[in-house]
Structure 1
Amino acid sequence: MAQYHTLLYYCYSPIENAEQFAADHLEFCKSLGLVGRIIVAEEGLNGTVSGTVEACKAYMDTIYADGRFNHTEFKIDEVEEPSFIKMHCRYKPEIVHSGLRDPKEIDPTKKTGKHLEPKEFMEMKDQEDVVILDVRSNYEHTVGRFKNAVTLDIENFREFPEKVKELEHLKGKKILTYCTGGIKCEKASALLLKEGFEEVYQLHGGIIKYGKEAGGKDFEGDCYVFDNRVTVPVNTVNPTVISTCRNCGTQTKKMINCANAKCNEHFTQCDECGWKFDGCCSTECQSVPNKREYDGTGYYVKVPQPVNVEKISKRKHKNFPPKNKMEAEA
């Protein structure tokens, strides 16, 4: 039996004085010995926390006992060790950055796409009049996505509203949206409905729940997650690897951070190139002084780094994931 659990969840439910709630919630999580990342906003909660089985159960019991969050659905993973190093609980304007903050325009508690359970999604996704729409960012769908899914060239979910214009030709189709855990689809599907798409659906519980309840069939590659694991396998039926090493082009699902802390770019790299480039994305980064020591994992404790304008510019190409992935959707 696993000693640790990792919980992925979200809940759209109004929170008064959300900033104070975030501060109090942080202390509560620390009292349980949890580590993770939680975003609190007036519209609700969005979090991934990790800790002992007992601590995670106590956390879930407390969330449900609050009353405001009774419809929260926790996706539970058994893990060998906690999936984070520290505990963060921060107040932000939205629980997922979309720019759709006016509840008079988009309110996930009132109108979203029809929720499909994993098995319903699996049965429906291959119908002729159906389009599967991935609403996640480039670095997420590069490492894993549903077979035949439509993907968007976006660095962050806040770019999604502008990309809806590119989907006009799909009106009249049944649109099946999906994301990691379901949270982005709540607003994405609501926006599609507002923009005149008539039949909009969303995968309830996202890719993670689909893997647990439908075996992950036809999800190609691995699922990107916002914790130390970086990616997790979800397909036990017909698994594949679709991502390639940035340096040599061979297939690999391993994602690492560049050992040059000032770069810190997150990218796919095979083990052979990892040792060849000493955990760096390029020979340029490999030659910098004070480079972090590469141990084969490519994971380093995050520390604030100066903004590198040149690197950000380079990353705008769709094949180059953005910097600091763990915070990209904050």
Structure 2
Amino acid sequence: MKKYSILLYYCYTSIEDVEKFREEHHLLCLELNLLGRIIIAHEGLNGTVSGLVEDCEKYMEIVKSDPRFADIDFKVDYSDTQGFTKLHVRSKSEIVHSDLHHINPRERTGIHLDPEEFRKLKNDPDVVLLDVRSNYEHKLGKFKNAVTLDIENFRDFPDKINEIEQYKDKKIVTYCTGGIKCEKASAYLLEQGFENVYQLHGGIIKYGLEAGGEDFEGKCYVFDNRIAVDVNTVNPVVISNCFVCGTHSDRMVNCANPECNNHVPICEKCGWEMEGACSAECKSHPELRPYDGTGYYQKQTNGYNPYKGLQRAKVLK
């Protein structure tokens, strides 16, 4: 039995006093010794955290006991180690950066498909699978025959609508890592006149956990220390190549040059030879970070202190 849980979740719901809730939620995570990243906005909650299995169980129980989050869908994976090294609970204008502030997924969004429904529908000739993630994510792994977009960030998605127009007569099924981007992506497609719009509920991660990940090719990029995870236990293949030597590799690395921080596959041999850098230029950078074989580096946080500014009494007794 693995010691730690890694939770991935979101919930579109109305949060009136964002700062008050942020502080209370921050205290909750501190009490439960959870690490990770949580974003809170007026439109809802988005997070990925890790901690001891029993602490994560308590966290999920407390969150779901709040009527605002009663329907929240936690994707739960397990690990031998902590998934994060720090805790950040922050308030922002959106729970995922899209610049689609006018869209409210609680009012209108694509039809949700559970993993088994998605598995049965994905090979229908009238279906188009649309990956709404960034380049570095879908280059590492994607569904077989999926349409991918050349975007660096999700906020670029609306700019690609002309490339999707050709599929207006098809059933469009959007997917992403955990489902959150699809809520606004599918809603935006409906707004733009697409009629048959669906989304994979719970995203790639839930599909892998509950339906075996069939036809997901490569690995899934995740936003914790693991960087990338296996999804497909049915018919897995490797689709990405080492950025340095070109051999097949799904070993995701962040470039050791902090000014580059490129997210690319680098095989183990090249990883050590290049000291975690993605190019000779990056390898010679004066601020090259020490490479430990993982290719994961904690971002600098400008002295961020998880206890700073906390004024209220502890929420747990």
Q: Classify the TM-score, shorter chain.
A: over 0.9
1:171 to 162, 168, 172: 168
Superposition TM-score, scaled by structure 2 size = 0.93
Distance 1:120 1:292, change over 3 A: same
- Cα deviation per residue 1:259-315 (whole Å; 9 max; x = unaligned)? 22232222211111112211111111212234222222222222269xxxxxxxxxx
State the identity as a percent: 61
- Cα deviation per residue 1:174-195 (whole Å; 9 max; x = unaligned)? 1011111111111111111111
Counterpart in the other structure of 1:145: 142
CA–CA distance in structure 1, aligned partners of residues 176 and 257 of structure 2? 30
CA–CA distance in structure 2, aligned partners of residues 201 and 260 of structure 1? 40
Counterpart in the other structure of 1:65: 65
Judge conservation of contact 2:83–2:224 (CA < 8 Å) in 1: yes
Superposition TM-score, scaled by structure 1 size = 0.89
CA–CA distance in structure 2, aligned partners of residues 82 and 265 of structure 1? 24
2:111 to 96, 101, 114: 114
Correspondence list, 1:190-201, <5 A: 190-201=187-198
Counterpart in the other structure of 1:203: 200
Counterpart in the other structure of 2:20: 20
Structure 1 stretches of 4+ with a deviation exceeding 4 A read none
CA–CA distance in structure 2, aligned partners of residues 265 and 144 of structure 1? 17
Judge conservation of contact 2:227–2:296 (CA < 8 Å) in 1: no
Unaligned runs of 5+ in 1: 306-330
CA–CA distance in structure 1, aligned partners of residues 274 and 24 of structure 2? 44
CA–CA distance in structure 2, aligned partners of residues 171 and 238 of structure 1? 30
Q: Secondary structure at the match of 1:68?
A: helix
Counterpart in the other structure of 2:306: none
Q: Secondary structure at the match of 2:57?
A: helix
CA–CA distance in structure 2, aligned partners of residues 128 and 65 of structure 1? 42
Q: Secondary structure at the match of 2:38?
A: strand
- Cα deviation per residue 1:204-251 (whole Å; 9 max; x = unaligned)? 111111111211000000111111111110100000111111111111
Correspondence list, 1:67-146, <5 A: 67-102=67-102, 106-146=103-143
CA–CA distance in structure 2, aligned partners of residues 52 and 289 of structure 1? 38
Distance 1:58 1:304, change over 3 A: closer
CA–CA distance in structure 1, aligned partners of residues 3 and 292 of structure 2? 26
- Cα deviation per residue 1:123-151 (whole Å; 9 max; x = unaligned)? 11111111110111111101000000000
CA shift, 1:161, in A, is 1.1
Correspondence list, 1:173-322, <5 A: 173-303=170-300
Q: Secondary structure at the match of 1:10?
A: strand
What is the RMSD of the two structures over their aligned residues, measured on CA atoms?
A: 1.2
CA–CA distance in structure 1, aligned partners of residues 49 and 237 of structure 2? 28
How many residue pairs end up in the alignment? 302
Q: Which moved more, 1:282-291 or 1:32-41?
A: 282-291
Unaligned runs of 5+ in 2: 303-317
Judge conservation of contact 2:105–2:187 (CA < 8 Å) in 1: yes
Q: Secondary structure at the match of 2:158?
A: helix
Counterpart in the other structure of 1:319: none
Residue identity matched to 1:152: L
